[in-house]
Each structure stands twice: as C-alpha cells, then as structure tokens.
Structure 1
Amino acid sequence: MKSVELGTTGLQVSLEGLGCMGMSTTYGPSNDEESLATLRRAVELGITYFDTAEVYGPFHNEELLGRAFAGMRDRVVISTKVGFGYTDEGQLAIIDGIPVVNGEPEHIIRAIEGSLRRLNTDYIDLVYLHRIDPKVPIEQTIAAMSKLVSEGKIGHIGLSEASAGTIRRAHAVHPITAVQTEYSLFERGVESNGVLETVRELGIGFVPYSPLGRGFLTGQLKMERLDPTDFRNYDPRLSGKNLDANTRIVEALALIAKEKGIKPSQLALAWTIAQGGVPIPGTRRIQYLEENVAAADIVLSKEELAKLDEAAPVGVASGDRYDKGFMTQLTL
C-alpha cells in the first residue's frame, strides 16, 4: 500500500489505517484470536498505521496491540488517545450520562505512561488528546505532551474532535501532526465548521474515523441483528424516522458503487481518501479488512465525485451523530 506523510512533521503512514476500537468494545462481543489474526493480516497487506485508545475496553485494546505487534514494532505506526477519567475500578467515569474528560497535565502524563506499558513499547508514534477538557486551557495540556515528545516517549501530538480555534491554539504551543474526527459521506460537518479548512491551512494531517458511517454506508447493516450491547442500537441516526431517511442516502450511494463495479464500502473509503484524508476503517474480520484495503487503489473521477456530492451533500444525514451527552464534548 502507498505510504504518505501525515501532516508536515515527518510521520509516514499507510494511505489507509486500521481503527481497532471494535476489537475490544462498542460493537458487541469480540474474539481476541480473530482480532490478532486480522491485525497480523493487516501488516501483511501493507497497513502500517493502527489506531487505538486507552478507553477502548478500557485498556484492553492497547494490550491487544501490544501482543499483536511483539517482535514487529519497527513495522508499525501506533497511535493512541488519552484524556478521559476513570473510576478506582478502572471503568470510564460517567457523571449524569456524560463521560468525564480530564486534560490536567499530570493526568495526561500518567495516562501516556500507562499506554506505554500496555502497548509494550518504549515510544508511541502519535498520541491524540481524545476529547478537549473545557476546564483546562489547551495550552497546558499540549505543553505536558510536548515534554514527553522531548523525552522521546511520544513522537507526535494529535487532537481528536477539536474545534478550529482549539486546533490553532494547540498548534501554537507544539506542532500538531494530525486531527482525528468523524468524517464520511454520512458526516461532513468538518467542511462547514472550519476544521477541515484549518488543518489544510496549517499543514496538519486529517484522519477520518468512522469513514463507513459505523458500518451503515456498507449497505449491509441489519439493525435487528445487532447484539444488545452494540452502541448502534442507541445511535440517533439509526433510529426511527432518522433511520428511514438515512437509508435513502445509502441506497443512492449503492447505485453509484454498482455503476463503478465496486462495493459501497470501497466507494465510501475512496471518497475520504480523495478528500485528502487517511481513513481508519475499523473491522475485526479479515474478509472486510481485505475489501477495505482494496479501496486504497480506487480512483474516483470528477464526475463520480460530483455525483457523490449530489447524493450526500454536507448536512444530509438526519439526526445527531451521538446522544446529547456525548454531543456536548464535540468540537470544543
């Protein structure tokens, strides 16, 4: 797979990465052996960029990657994310239905030290601040992370779900290598809120997560078959009238994919790459991994891109992308 520079700070990654969250949480039960086989197959296929976070589990996903990449650390680029608070029992701390965010410098440093242990490595290529803590100036948090860069414990700094203003303030303290946010033909908010414009102006890499709309853009998602623990059972966009309205979008995209002779999932991924992003589709199954990897070689014409803009313009999706509690933590 082709390698590209993520941003302008020298970090080389594969044109498409692998989001590992679903191997530990969110989308129902998973199997470690299946996940380990998928991770190793990803390396064989040329994927070098793997995305995790301390909260995935919590903590299980980082440990899984530490096992998977033992003996091949020099062949992979690992990014993780820190910034949530936890209970004494090691669970995500939640108050009034909203996860606790903690950007205090001391907390961030301890969190990164924990990630280093779980990933079984002495350095992490890229560490994102997972969510922005409105109680702590971003300058203080980034300064703490910058100290770990100087110590060689992390290579690069990123932000996840940050506003254009926060990105600029953080970048003034230490060069930000990448910004990660939800972005797909189903969710194009960063095109209208200044985030995409800002990262392009500042030379910051852009990493779309959920580039397949949490699996919805594949056209294969069957809500009635989801495990009761699957997060998508509570996704506002996949419920009631929103689901009916959004299904029409997926059907329109499926027709365009059929005309090109590719799968809807591949069309969606090729589109994010065409926008200049390095998408990190998540899967724990080798079959879907191989389908996703093939999308990196698909080129979309101007005419095809225009059709996609018409079928899925900015703001087309019906409903919020998270419940109200989680929505309060986005683009701060």
Structure 2
Amino acid sequence: MAEEQIPRVKLGTQGLQVSKLGLGCMSLSGAYNDPLPEDEAISLINYAFNQGITFFDTADVYGLNNANELLLAKALKQLPREKVQVATKFGIVKMNFPDVQVNGTPEYVRSCCEASLKRLDVEYIDLYYQHRVDQTVPIEETVGELKKLVEEGKVKYIGLSEASPDTIRRAHAVHPITAVQMEWSLWTRDLEEEIVPLCRELGIGIVPYSPLGRGFFGGKGVVENLPATSGLSAYHPRFQSENLDKNKRIYEGLERLAKKHHCTTPQLALAWVLGQGNDVVPIPGTTKIKNLDQNIGAVSLKFTESDLIEISKAVPIDDVAGGRHFVGNNKLSWKFANTPPKDSRVST
C-alpha cells in the first residue's frame, strides 16, 4: 500500500487516526449516477486502499435496500480490517420525497447499529454518525445510547452530521464527539462562522462531504454534459439552467487559477478544502479511477495562506447562484419531518 501518498492524521482528539483523504462511497450505489457494477465498485475501493486511502464513508440509507453497506462489506473482505477505518451513519428512516423522516430514539440507535454491524460483517464500527438530528428526541438521549455502544465495544468513536452548534455542544457534554460531518466546499461555506471554531474549541475533527460542490468543481455541468436525468444533480438549485449559466463563470475563474498553480480545476478546489487545517478530512466520492487519481493528487498540493485567500476570493459566496439544498424548484422538494432548519439539513 502506497501510504506515503496520503499521510495519516488525527481526526479529533479521542484517538482516531485516518488517511488525510477519505472516500465517500454513496455514489458507488447510485445517487448522482447509475450504480457501478459490483465488481467495479469493489475494485475501486481496493484501488483507493492501495493508494493510501483507509477511511471509507457509508450509511445505512445509501443505495436500495442498504446496498452501500453490503457493498463495502464485500470490499472489506479483501482488506486488512485493522488498517481500515469504517464510518457509517444512522438516523434517516425514509428518503421518500418530499419527506425525509428521522429517528433518534435510543431503541432506534441500537437497532440501526446492530443492523449495520451485521451488514458490514464487522465486530465494530470505527466512526458512527447520527446522520441527521431528530428534534423530537433530546440529543442527550441519542448520544447516551451511543455512549453505551462505545462502552460495549460495538462503536469506537461517535460523530454527528449536519448538526447545529448547540446540538454539538450538548452532545459533546454527554460523550466526546470525534467528528462532525458537514457540507464544505468553495461554494458552501456556512459552517465557517460557528461550526469550525466550535469544533476546534472542543477538539472535534471536521469531515467535509461534497468538497467538490456535488461534482461542479470536477466539471459536472460545465466540462461534462449534464443531462436532465443525471441523478440528484438534475434537481439541485445550483445546477438549474439559469443558475448553472451564472455559476459557470465561477468555474472559469478557478480554471485560470488552476493553470497558474499547475494543477487541474478539481484538484485546486479539493486542495483548498484540504488546506483548511490538519483536522479537516474531506471524503469526495467518485465512480472513476481517473477522478480518484486526481483527488489523490490534490493531497500533495501545498498552498500558502495567500494562495488560499486568493482561491477563496475567486468564489465570492454572494455570486453563487442557487441554494445548497434540494429545495426551491418545481421538480423536487426535500424536507425533514418535524425538524427545524438549524439541524438535520436536507443535503445528503
């Protein structure tokens, strides 16, 4: 395994070590594209591991009938378990549009954990996230049950996804939170004002999902043709025709900067996220080896503070057209049942 390509870092202060770059596995089972054939998906996971990626992210809700966890289980059989960090999630009960229902009761936490352990065919889960926060259940009750699972050895570390600052702080008071997973990219930066400083205050690692803007900074809709039926992206506000036309100008500016730094545009965008701190471990997903190679190449790019500022300024947030959630269009509306907007946001 070419571990030197991707350094290992501490994710949070509780002891978890992972590769500086992870692999989001959701797209392997379909979401933004058709599912990969199983043998190709397993080969891609193995390839990632052989290049130094040891941190793999999934969830019980990814893929039809828990397909993503089952897929990862088959890939894990070919890898040394002690060298792999498996992250999975619970909490989303249904994703039938327009409603997305969540459940954070202790009974549901335990049943989901037992089911994921069985599907993944592992004795423990390295990092277990609450996928979305259930506002009808006190976070203390949810994390209290997660704490029991840690004490029983079924879970090593606990995480939260898309949680508000208050929820993070209250959860951390019950049991240390190792990582918070949030959407973070050059055009999605609302976590920077409160979430990032709070995580650093509490010693919590940050795991950005969609660090390439749901594929936009990889060229989706700009370089690559984006047909109207291209998975979830076809329903995202930022990929709607009028917004996409405006956002293409942002891509063109980054493209010029990438040439200046002798890298590709997606590498520039991913390296910017990687450069936000040693406690930041993005988990871009891909179904193509060539894109995985590009992502890995971004790890070796080193930007100065002035470079990072220049890249940030190339994507003025006020110039980004369209919101980050799957709402506000006539094709698709996502919402969480009984959940206010500060927690359990609608992005997956």
Q: Deviations over 1:196-221 (max 9, x none)?
A: 11111111000000000011012353
Which residue identity lines up with residue 12 of structure 1 in the other structure?
Answer: Q
Partners in 2 of 1:26 and 1:135 — Cα distance? 28
Q: Deviations over 1:250-291 (max 9, x none)?
A: 111111011111011111111111112111010121111111
Distance 1:303 1:327, change over 3 A: farther
Q: What are the residue-to-residue correspondences of 1:93-242 with 2, within 5 Å? A: 94=96, 97-192=98-193, 194-221=194-221, 224-226=225-227, 228=229, 230-242=231-243
Name the % identity: 45
Secondary structure class of the residue paired with 1:214:
coil
**CA RMSD, 1 decimal:** 1.6
Q: Deviations over 1:170-208 (max 9, x none)?
A: 00000000000100001111013x111111111100000
Q: State the 1:150 CA deviation.
A: 0.2
Residue in structure 1 matched with residue 299 of structure 2 by the alignment = 296
Partners in 1 of 2:313 and 2:269 — Cα distance? 14
Partners in 2 of 1:258 and 1:69 — Cα distance? 38
Residue in structure 2 matched with residue 34 of structure 1 by the alignment = 40
Partners in 1 of 2:220 and 2:143 — Cα distance? 40
Q: Deviations over 1:287-319 (max 9, x none)?
A: 111111111111012232121121113454221
> In the alignment, is residue 69 of structure 1 matched against residue 76 of structure 2?
yes
Q: State the 1:235 CA deviation.
A: 0.3
Q: State the 1:93 CA deviation.
A: 5.1
Cα pair 1:34 1:285 within 8 Å, conserved: no
Q: What are the residue-to-residue correspondences of 1:230-269 with 2, within 5 Å? A: 230-269=231-270
Q: State the 1:224 CA deviation.
A: 4.7
User: Could you tell me the TM-score, scaled by structure 2's length?
Assistant: 0.89
Cα pair 1:2 1:15 within 8 Å, conserved: yes
Distance 1:252 1:229, change over 3 A: closer
Which residue identity lines up with residue 127 of structure 1 in the other structure?
Answer: Y
Structure 2: gaps spanning 5 or more residues: 1-5, 328-332, 344-348
Partners in 1 of 2:84 and 2:90 — Cα distance? 20
Count of matched residue positions in the alignment of Structure 1 and Structure 2: 324
Which residue identity lines up with residue 286 of structure 1 in the other structure?
Answer: I
Q: Which of 37, 60, 63 lines up with 2:67 in the alignment?
A: 60
Residue in structure 2 matched with residue 88 of structure 1 by the alignment = none
Which residue identity lines up with residue 58 of structure 2 in the other structure?
Answer: T
Which residue identity lines up with residue 296 of structure 2 in the other structure?
Answer: V
Partners in 2 of 1:205 and 1:118 — Cα distance? 26
Q: State the 1:331 CA deviation.
A: 3.6
Residue in structure 1 matched with residue 8 of structure 2 by the alignment = 3
Cα pair 1:189 1:315 within 8 Å, conserved: no
Which residue identity lines up with residue 122 of structure 1 in the other structure?
Answer: E
Partners in 2 of 1:191 and 1:132 — Cα distance? 20
Q: State the 1:225 CA deviation.
A: 3.9
Secondary structure class of the residue paired with 1:256:
helix
Partners in 1 of 2:318 and 2:167 — Cα distance? 23
Residue in structure 1 matched with residue 53 of structure 2 by the alignment = 47
Secondary structure class of the residue paired with 2:135:
coil
Partners in 2 of 1:309 and 1:285 — Cα distance? 27
Structure 1: gaps spanning 5 or more residues: 86-91
Cα pair 1:189 1:314 within 8 Å, conserved: no
Partners in 1 of 2:296 and 2:322 — Cα distance? 30
Partners in 2 of 1:331 and 1:288 — Cα distance? 33
